[in-house]
Amino acid sequence: MKRSGKYLSLTTRLVFIVSLFFSMYVFAMFQGGTVSWTIFYMVTPFLLYSIALFLYPLSVLKVKRSIRSKTIEKGGKLHVTLHITRSFPFPLLYTTISEKWDDARVIESVPQTKQFFIFGFKKEIEWSYEVDKLPRGQYTIEGLEVEIADFFGWIQKRSFIELKDSILVFPNTTSMHYVPIDAQYDRGSLLSPYSLVKDTTMATGVRDYQAGDRVTWIHWKSFARTQNLMTKEFEDRQSEDLVVLLDGRVSDTFEEQVELTASLIEEASSQQASIAFVSTGEEITVFPFIHSAEQLNEVFVHLAKIKPVSVNDMKLIARSTFSALAGSVIVVTGKPDAAFIQTVNHVTTSMKSVICFVVVDKLQAVSTELQQQVAYAKSKGIAVHLLSRKQFSDAFKEVSSL
């Protein structure tokens, strides 16, 4: 209905222009005189251009979009370049091009997504714009809307060119100093099947070089004597697996919770720790192994897309979620209420220890309610620590000291 309404309106405008053309011609014929014919000849080019613009097909416009990077961190800049080409050099005067995003907030906050051109006889134009400070999330550019008009706005034509691109804005991460949790040397009685981190200050021997060994591990003295590459062997520091659990409920500090979670996982992964990730929400999502860059990227994609849900919409965590996991659990939340703590305590009975990070706004005083919630969690054997954004860098230190 909308398309037919637009077409009818455009056709009505054409009828008006044609009627105006013949009316002025008839007036000049009957009235005669230099003035009448001068007015007719002056207006005729504009009327003919409007008629030609009505017949000009916008389908000849071809658009190519170039995005410097489709994955950026929260608050980063998105650089977009559009190349608009056409095969027929019809003189386009007033041309407006605007990008259509699926999130109206981007269009409202970024005026650069709309641009006015005088195309002229050019066959190609290029337009670049930047979007600053995009919040975390997934965005889709649906396409491009092109609008052209004649001199007086008698003929206005619009065309939507579908050209989809997806943008991911990852959460910011904070650089941390990694400290293993309950780490012990392999002389201990309880060993985990994974090496949490190698202590490169304690070489216990040498072995033949294998593909993938770091250059810094090569034993150069042995190479000088034997001309064979040998790699130092180090004592492994062992620990149970580390599981990070993100509370997906709506809270005032949800974005900070996501950033803390991303920072914990990134730092532990960079230190070759055995780490898993569980997020709650409308669905319970589990990443049981985060050992490779590809697996880490999958986690960050999930953290970029995740949205908080209300308590009523959140799916309950089942005990089976942690049945294949072991070791210590780090819970990241903004609301450690009794119901949530009871659920965590129930489903993590098989885990060695549970540590809860409560993300708070440093500008606000800790409420009496939150103090009561923290006291309740501690009474259930859960170690609790309040963290503001500025304290994220010392998160692992806080864990090891709890």
Is 70 exceeded by the pLDDT of residue 299?
yes
Q: Kindly report the number of other CB atoms within 10 A of residue 295's CB atom.
A: 15
Residue percentage of the chain with pLDDT more than 70: 82
Is 80 exceeded by the pLDDT of residue 324?
no
Q: Residue 390 domain-assigned?
A: yes
Same domain? For 300 and 210 the reply is no
Beta strand pairing call for 71-73 and 156-170: parallel
Q: Which domain holds residue 206?
A: 198-231
* Mean per-residue pLDDT over the chain, rounded: 81
- Say what the pLDDT of residue 336 is: 92
Is 70 exceeded by the pLDDT of residue 7?
no
What are 202-246's pLDDT values in tens digits?
A: 555 667 766 656 666 676 677 667 777 777 665 544 444 789 999
Same domain? For 207 and 295 the reply is no
Number of domains observed in the structure of the chain: 4
Q: Residue 220 domain-assigned?
A: yes
Same domain? For 76 and 34 the reply is no
pLDDT: is 210 or 189 the higher one? 210
Q: Residue 135 domain-assigned?
A: yes
- Say what the pLDDT of residue 187 is: 32
Q: Kindly report the number of other CB atoms within 10 A of residue 152's CB atom.
A: 12
Same domain? For 250 and 213 the reply is no
What are 38-97's pLDDT values in tens digits?
A: 888 888 888 899 888 988 888 889 999 999 888 888 888 889 999 999 988 888 888 998
Same domain? For 117 and 140 the reply is yes
d(CA 120, CA 118): 6
Same domain? For 80 and 212 the reply is no
- CA distances 11 to 43, 49, 58, 69, 158, Å, are 20, 15, 16, 43, 14
pLDDT: is 324 or 72 the higher one? 72
Half-sphere exposure of 72 (CA within 13 A, CB side): 20
d(CA 270, CA 265): 8
Same domain? For 223 and 365 the reply is no
Q: Which segment of 71-85, 167-181, 201-215, 384-398 scores lowest on mean pLDDT?
A: 201-215
Q: Residue 182 domain-assigned?
A: no
Is 80 exceeded by the pLDDT of residue 199?
no
- Say what the pLDDT of residue 192 is: 39
What are 106-133's pLDDT values in tens digits?
A: 766 666 678 888 888 888 999 888 888 8
Mean pLDDT along residues 127-153 = 88
pTM of structure: 0.74
Is 90 exceeded by the pLDDT of residue 31?
no
Q: Residue 23 domain-assigned?
A: yes
| CATH code of 299's domain | 3.40.50.410
Mean pLDDT along residues 22-39 = 84
Cβ-contact 298, 212 below 8 angstroms? no
Q: How confident is the model at residue 253 (pLDDT cuts 50, 70, 90)?
A: very high
pLDDT: is 271 or 370 the higher one? 370
Same domain? For 99 and 141 the reply is yes
- CA distances 34 to 26, 68, 370, Å, are 14, 60, 89
Is 60 exceeded by the pLDDT of residue 303?
yes
pLDDT: is 172 or 317 the higher one? 172
Q: Kindly report the number of other CB atoms within 10 A of residue 311's CB atom.
A: 11
Q: How confident is the model at residue 6 (pLDDT cuts 50, 70, 90)?
A: low
Residue percentage of the chain with pLDDT more than 90: 27
- Say what the pLDDT of residue 232 is: 67
